[in-house]
Amino acid sequence: MYQANQQRYETMPYHRCGKSGLKLPALSLGLWHNFGTTSNFETMKEMCTTAFDAGITHFDLANNYGPVNGAAEENFGRILDWGMRPYRDEMVISTKAGHEMWPGPYGDWGSRKHLVASLDQSLLRMGLDYVDIFYHHRPDPETPLEETMDALDAIVRSGKALYVGISKYNKEQTAEAVRILRNLRTPFVIHQSRYSLFERTIETNRVKDYAAKEGLGMIAFCPLAQGLLTDKYLHGIPNDSRIKKDGRFLQESALTQEKLERIRALNEIAAERGQSLAQMAICWILRDQKVTSVLIGASRPEQILENVKITGKTDFTLEEQNRIDQICG
C-alpha cells in the first residue's frame, strides 16, 4: 500500500488562487501527455506518487487527454484505486470539457448538454463524486457565453465541482465570463493559458494583468514550449525526443537554427543562475506572483524531481530579465 512522504508539505510553496480560499502548489502536474494508452502504467503511478511526495497536490486533466480520448482520466482513476485514493482530500483534481470528445453535434464546444454530459463521464472514469475545478476548455464561437457560464454554475450547484475556471479565453471573453459568473455568485477562481518564455500572448493581450486585477488565479501550461526550453535539443534532435516519437504537438520545423541559438543563449543565463534551462523557464513564469501555479508535464519521475528544485529561486535581477527579453525578442 502506498504511503505518502510525511515531509511532503515542508518545501513546496502554496499560492492562493486569486481571491479565493483555494491554494495551489507552485507546480502542478499536468496529465496531457504520457498518461494515455501508449504509456506504461507503472511509470504513470511513479510519476503521480513522486509528484505528491514532493508536495504537488494538484493533478490537472481533461476529458480528451490521452491518447485515446478519456484514457488519462481512466488511468488516473486506476492510480487512485491502486493506492492514492485515501489521499483524495489532500488533492486538487481538475478536468475540462470543450474540445472534441465524441462524434456528433454534442461532442465538443460549450453547450450545456456537452459540459454536463462530459463531466458525468469524467467522474465515472476517475471514480469520483466531484472534481475540485471544472474548466470550460476553449471559447465557443457559436454557443452564447451565458449558456456556457450558466452550465458551469449549475455544475457547482449540483455538487459535481467545487470551483470553475476557463481556458484559452482572451481578455474580452474573460471579462464577460467574470461579469456573468459574479452575478450568479459562482466560485470562478482560475484562468488557464499557454505561457512560456517563447509564448507571451497573455502579456500582449493583457489577460495576465486583467486576471490579477480581478482577483483570478492564473495557471500556465506548456511552460517549457513542448520541451524546447530544456537541454534536450541543445545539440540537435535526439531519437527519444517528443519531435521524433510524437509529432502531434511539436514538429521538427519548430526547431529552426534561430530558435536553437536562442535556446543556447537562454541556457547560458540558466547556468549562471545555477539552474537548468527548464528550471529557469519555470521560475521566470512565477517571477512576479501573477501566476498561481505552473503545469509541468513529465515522461519520467526524475523530471518532476528536477523541476521541484526551483523552490526559492524565482527572483530575477533586472539585468537577467533584460537579457532574457532581448534573446526572446
Name the CATH topology of 14-232+288-311.
Answer: TIM Barrel (3.20.20)
Quick check: 35 and 46 in contact, CB under 8 A?
no
Give the pLDDT of residue 37: 95
pLDDT per residue as tens digits for the range 255-287? 788 999 999 999 999 999 999 999 999 999 999
Please report where in the chains the cell 452550465 appears, as a residue.
151
pLDDT per residue as tens digits for the range 76-116? 999 999 999 999 999 999 999 999 999 999 999 999 999 99
- When pLDDT is cut at 50, 70 and 90, the band that residue 162 belongs to is very high
Give the pLDDT of residue 312: 75
- pTM for this model (two decimals): 0.94
- When pLDDT is cut at 50, 70 and 90, the band that residue 239 belongs to is low
What's 23-44 look like in SS3? EEECEEEECCCCCCCCCCHHHH
What's the full length of the chain, in residues? 329
d(CA 323, CA 325): 5
pLDDT over 80 (residue 311) = no
**Pairing, β 23-25 against β 131-136:** unpaired
pLDDT over 60 (residue 244) = no
pLDDT over 70 (residue 218) = yes
pLDDT over 90 (residue 236) = no
Q: What is the distance, to the nearest Å, from the Cα of residue 116 to the centroid of all Cα atoms in its chain?
A: 22
Supply the mean pLDDT for the chain.
94
